[in-house]
């Protein structure tokens, strides 16, 4: 697996066999990637993968999450389905050794991974939640079919400053007989004239009374969780949980920085997206995720030191905003001559270090309020612009989530803010869960963006 290239699933299997024959040690979830196709993940046949063993570990770790959840249940652990907050509650849940957190929200990738063989979108249609909703509607169907994750022992969902699609779909989940503990995340408001804000991870500011309110919500969640699943999470446990989460975040921060600042892209966009997603709930194994990500970081550092990577130094440095429901589109970026140099996948608050100098529930409250979707789109845009400057991005892709209630308007604000500061091209695309019929137009838009960015490079 020495020569750097993106390879097909079939080639992955061959490379994996070769790696084993040279004495490679596979983790317990390791194996040929094609076995996941037999489990139903037919969509991965259409992806292209980084050809390293550590990248295959990453994929194997991702695609075996359901098994881990079932093992955890068999071992007597309680499964907590955390919904929407993307990164905050799992820190608290994993602080207790008898609890495991996962996001049912992650079902939004199932139609892509299973190439719609799961028929989740069809089931969602039948429930009256059609294609005018965000792809997270697959989650509703997954609760109905019960095929994709074990039924959680408890569901906890943030509401308030969250998107309407998710709130509406989560309410339908509850309406189908799945009780949810709703907790309030207030819109991160602008400060009053005489008000002193508290800086949050990531740089935004929040009013003290809002932080106090969310801290009280954290306390309430701990209380209800103890009553519901019999697991009491103490502050000392959370302190430890924060420390462990921060290790994962530090590793990801180093990984992102190394990739974004490298002369040649050391890792494809797709694998980086998967790695970043690991931050929100550790893919159901907080210890192992660090092993997986550390391996990836080591690989990337080796590649940078050796001056090897994908494409070449000529590739256009692209900042990508919002995650895509169809992972193939991330492959398309390299195919069009672009590389990732900056990302904002709606969960930057799950990547920032959680403060350790303050009481732990307050630290989690600050983190929750740092959610880019909790505040004004201008706050989001400011952070994106700071990162564009930091990483020298030459072009921006705003990937709209089809049907999402926030994307159309947020996109306008973010795009206009970027254009007011930088002379770089910005393109908006919309990526459905299975983008077959849109592939040609998406490719055209990405190619045009890359072309324009290269043209501007010459003019500068």
Which of 69, 370 has the CB closer to another protein?
Answer: 370
412 binds another protein (CB under 8 A): yes
128 binds another protein (CB under 8 A): yes
Which of 296, 404 has the CB closer to another protein?
Answer: 404
239 binds another protein (CB under 8 A): no
Which of 114, 205 has the CB closer to another protein?
Answer: 205
Which of 162, 343 has the CB closer to another protein?
Answer: 162
Which of 171, 353 has the CB closer to another protein?
Answer: 171
400 binds another protein (CB under 8 A): yes
Min dist CB 394 to another protein, Å, is: 23
Give dist(CA 375, CA 368) in Å, integer: 11
CB 340 within 8 A of CB 259: yes
Question: How far does CA 459 lie from the centroid of its chain?
Answer: 36
Give dist(CA 398, CA 85) in Å, integer: 21
What does the radius of gyration of the chain's CA atoms come to, in whole angstroms?
21
Min dist CB 58 to another protein, Å, is: 33
Give dist(CA 152, CA 142) in Å, integer: 12
Q: What is the 8-class DSSP label of residue 233? A: P
In 262-405, which ranges are continuous DSSP H helix? 269-281, 286-306, 328-335, 360-369, 377-391
Name which position in 31, 46, 68, 167 contacts another protein (CB under 8 A).
167
CB 399 within 8 A of CB 429: yes
172 binds another protein (CB under 8 A): yes
Give dist(CA 332, CA 56) in Å, integer: 20
227 binds another protein (CB under 8 A): no
Which of 184, 254 has the CB closer to another protein?
Answer: 184
**Which stretch, 4-12, 88-96, 177-185, 447-455, contacts another protein (CB under 8 A)?**
177-185
Which of 405, 447 has the CB closer to another protein?
Answer: 405
Min dist CB 128 to another protein, Å, is: 3
247: left (phi over 0), alpha (psi -120 to 50) or beta: alpha
Which of 161, 452 has the CB closer to another protein?
Answer: 161
Name which position in 105, 217, 326, 344 contacts another protein (CB under 8 A).
217
187 binds another protein (CB under 8 A): yes
CB 379 within 8 A of CB 236: no
3-state secondary structure of 167: helix
Min dist CB 266 to another protein, Å, is: 36
Burial 51-89 (b: 16+ CB within 10 A, else e): bbbbbbbbbbbbbbbeebbeebbeeebbbbbbbbbbbbb
144 binds another protein (CB under 8 A): no
Full DSSP string of 3-15: S--EE-HHHHHHH
Q: How many residues bind another protein (CB under 8 A)?
A: 53
Min dist CB 171 to another protein, Å, is: 6
Pairing assessment for the beta strands 78-83 and 49-50 based on DSSP bridges: unpaired
Residue 458 CB: number of other CB atoms within 10 A? Answer: 6
Rounded to 10°, the helix 53-63/9-21 angle is 120
Q: Which helix (H) or strand (E) holds 136?
A: none
Name which position in 40, 98, 131, 160 contacts another protein (CB under 8 A).
160
394 binds another protein (CB under 8 A): no
Full DSSP string of 268-300: -HHHHHHHHHHHHHGGG-HHHHHHHHHHHHHHH
Which of 159, 291 has the CB closer to another protein?
Answer: 159
Min dist CB 200 to another protein, Å, is: 17
192 binds another protein (CB under 8 A): yes
Which of 257, 408 has the CB closer to another protein?
Answer: 408
422 binds another protein (CB under 8 A): no
**Which stretch, 33-41, 111-119, 397-405, 435-443, contacts another protein (CB under 8 A)?**
397-405
Instruction: Summarize as ranges the residues that interact with another protein (CB under 8 A).
Output: 127-129, 132-133, 157, 159-165, 167-172, 174-175, 180, 182-184, 186-187, 189-190, 192-193, 209, 213, 216-217, 220, 376-378, 400, 403-413, 415-416
């Amino acid at each position: 697996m020495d020569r750097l290239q993106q390879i097909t699933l079939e080639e992955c299997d061959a490379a994996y066999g070769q790696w084993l024959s040279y004495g490679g040690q596979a983790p317990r979830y390791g194996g040929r990637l094609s076995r996941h196709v037999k489990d139903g993940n037919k969509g991965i046949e259409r992806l292209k993968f980084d050809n390293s063993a550590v990248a295959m570990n990453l994929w194997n770790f991702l695609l075996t999450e359901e098994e881990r959840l079932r093992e955890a249940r068999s071992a007597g652990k309680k499964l907590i389905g955390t919904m929407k907050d993307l990164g905050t509650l799992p820190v608290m849940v994993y602080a207790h050794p008898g609890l495991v957190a996962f996001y049912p929200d992650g079902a939004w990738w199932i139609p892509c991974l299973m190439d719609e063989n799961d028929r989740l979108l069809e089931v969602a249609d039948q429930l009256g939640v059609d294609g005018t909703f965000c792809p997270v509607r697959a989650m509703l169907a997954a609760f109905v079919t019960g095929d994709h994750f074990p039924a959680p022992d408890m569901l906890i969902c943030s509401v308030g400053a969250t998107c309407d699609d998710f709130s509406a779909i989560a309410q339908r989940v509850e309406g189908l007989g799945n009780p949810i503990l709703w907790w309030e995340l207030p819109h991160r408001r602008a400060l009053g004239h005489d008000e002193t804000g508290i800086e949050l991870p990531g740089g935004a500011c929040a009013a003290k009374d809002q932080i106090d309110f969310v801290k009280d919500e954290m306390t309430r969640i701990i209380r209800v969780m103890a009553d519901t699943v019999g697991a009491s999470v103490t502050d000392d446990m959370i302190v430890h949980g924060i420390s462990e989460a921060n290790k994962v975040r530090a590793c990801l921060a180093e990984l992102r920085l190394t990739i974004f600042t490298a002369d040649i892209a050391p890792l494809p966009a797709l694998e980086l997206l998967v790695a970043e997603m690991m931050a929100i709930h550790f893919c159901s194994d907080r210890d192992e995720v660090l092993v997986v990500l550390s391996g990836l970081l080591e690989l990337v550092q080796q590649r940078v030191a050796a001056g090897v990577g994908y494409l070449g130094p000529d590739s256009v440095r692209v900042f990508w905003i919002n995650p895509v429901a169809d992972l193939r589109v991330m492959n398309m970026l390299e195919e069009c001559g672009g590389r990732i140099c900056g990302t904002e996948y709606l969960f930057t608050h799950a990547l920032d270090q959680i403060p350790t100098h303050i009481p732990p529930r307050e630290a989690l409250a600050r983190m929750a309020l740092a959610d880019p979707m909790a505040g004004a789109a201008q706050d989001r845009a400011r952070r994106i612009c700071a990162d564009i400057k930091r990483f020298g991005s030459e072009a921006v892709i705003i990937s709209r989530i089809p049907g999402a209630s926030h994307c159309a308007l947020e996109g306008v604000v973010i795009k206009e803010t970027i254009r007011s500061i930088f002379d770089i091209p910005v393109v908006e695309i919309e990526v459905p869960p299975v983008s077959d019929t849109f592939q040609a137009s998406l490719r055209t838009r990405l190619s045009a963006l890359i072309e324009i960015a290269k043209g501007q490079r010459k003019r500068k």
